[in-house]
Amino acid sequence: MFLDQAKIQIKAGDGGNGCVSFRREKYVPFGGPNGGDGGHGGDVILVVDPKLNTLSSFQHKSKFAAQRGQNGRGKDQTGASGADLRIPVPPGTVVRNVETGTLIADLTTPGQELRVARGGRGGRGNARFATPTNQAPRMAENGEPGEGRTLLLELKLIADVGIVGLPNAGKSTLLASVTWARPKIADYPFTTLEPYLGVATLDDETTLVLADIPGLIEGASHGAGLGHEFLRHIERTRALIHLLDGARENPLADYETINAELAAFGRGLETKPQSVGFNKMDLPDAQAQWPQVKRELGRRGIEVMAISAVAKDGVRELLYRVAQKLQELPPVELVEPMPVITLTQEEPFIIERRQDGWHVSGPRIEKLVAMSRFDSFEALQHLQHKLEQLGVIEALTSAGVQEGDTVFLGDYEMEWHP
């Protein structure tokens, strides 16, 4: 099955927790703190694998999580970092953030990597909180939560040439006759329900990557049939082979129909160079219509070549003509790999007054609370100090919070005391 869209949920690894520990040695009665930091959580990275050509690997697995960092230990031992999770995707994968709808990346280069979720940093052990005035801290941090998000992966095939035409025009037969691709072929419409790729070797120096785009129908640009699903695969191609069914009643009208759909879909499809092939010349009906089609298209300055995909007559000549047009086109612009990016936006905190109390939310607040421990007085003091630095305490006071009011910091509930 050809799968060209997939929605996946990813979660980077959480950081390991910091450790609370003190030296315990025979001749050191008052050993200092030696709790180590937690390890860094693993990242989630998309990697372009040229061996893949579909997103079918995501059909049965859509949730991915990287390894969390290990907790810190005594004797100043830092926990091991979690392993990164590398997810292979085929060339031509477009990555979008489902929550925001924004484009994250367009992955086209083999080996290209994109970090789509960062692992959380490890929490600090109590050795990191020692000061001249607090030489025996009994607090440590929890690990930072790893980033998590839902991604939409959309595949657009990368090929030199796209073969377009109405259903049953012979596109699959043409592809099978010049490559090792074996699409399903029959003499009824809509035999091909998924795109196929094949490589045609014309000589030692000339090869073409061809994409058989399933038959388009009138209204495809507006979603009729599977129009949108198929038309987007043509966007990547540099040129088109427009195949006409010579045995149909009016091949010229078919030619206009396909071009109208390409123009209606837009995105530059109507401007791609076309090589027109008049197919099925092995049939009497096609032979009878060939002079008129050649004359009419020639009058418009359109070159058309007679072929028979079944008998392989004229096929190599058509492909050589396409290869010549490709050489005349400007060189392909190299796509620079996207830099490693972080997708999380550190927004200011938000304070809301609701019936059950005051709610303080925001990524920085939620991260701070998640990394705080509530099992020690020192940890609570540290949390309050951080909230003061962020301006949360002052903002709550200005908003009118009163003693005894309930304040929600992320998922945690507290009672306000000045």
pLDDT, tens digit, for every residue of 330-380?
Answer: 765 544 444 444 444 455 778 888 888 888 888 888 888 888 887 778 888
> Would you say 306 and 271 are in contact if contact means Cβ atoms under 8 Å apart?
no
C-alpha to C-alpha distance for 322 and 274, rounded to whole angstroms: 8
Q: What is the pLDDT of residue 29?
A: 66
Average pLDDT over the chain, rounded to an integer: 80
> Would you say 134 and 212 are in contact if contact means Cβ atoms under 8 Å apart?
no
Residue range 90-102, pLDDT digits in tens = 888 889 888 887 8
Q: What is the pLDDT of residue 82?
A: 93
Element (H, E) at 412: strand 412-415
Which CATH architecture group holds 1-155? Distorted Sandwich (2.70)
Q: What is the DSSP string of 203-226?
A: ETTEEEEEEEPPPP-TTGGGTSTT
Q: What is the pLDDT of residue 10?
A: 94
Straight-line distance from the first to the last Cα atom of the chain, in angstroms, rounded to the nearest whole number: 63
Every domain of the chain and the residues it spans: 1-155, 161-328, 350-415
C-alpha to C-alpha distance for 267 and 231, rounded to whole angstroms: 10
The three-state secondary structure class of 403 is coil
C-alpha to C-alpha distance for 122 and 13, rounded to whole angstroms: 10
**Nearest CA-CA partner of 68 in 10, 121, 124, 141:** 121
**CA pseudo-torsion sign 264, 268, 269, 271:** positive
In this predicted structure, which of 137-151, 216-230, 276-290 has the lowest mean pLDDT?
216-230
Where in 254-396 does DSSP place strands (E)? 274-279, 304-306, 350-354, 357-361
154 has which bridge partners? 5, 94
Specify the fold of 161-328.
Rossmann fold (3.40.50)
> Would you say 270 and 259 are in contact if contact means Cβ atoms under 8 Å apart?
yes
> Would you say 225 and 217 are in contact if contact means Cβ atoms under 8 Å apart?
yes
Q: What is the pLDDT of residue 180?
A: 52
Pick the residue with more confidence: 262 or 30? 262
Helix-helix angle 392-399:377-390, to 10 degrees: 70
Residue range 141-193, pLDDT digits in tens = 889 999 999 999 987 766 678 888 888 777 778 877 776 544 444 344 444 44
Which CA distances in Å does 396 have to 60, 320, 380, 387, 392? 47, 74, 18, 11, 6
The answer, yes or no, to whether residue 397 has pLDDT greater than 70, is: yes
Q: What is the pLDDT of residue 232?
A: 61
The answer, yes or no, to whether residue 217 has pLDDT greater than 60, is: no
CATH of span 350-415: 3.30.300.350
Q: What is the pLDDT of residue 338?
A: 45
Residue range 280-329, pLDDT digits in tens = 898 999 899 999 989 998 888 888 899 888 888 888 888 888 888 888 87
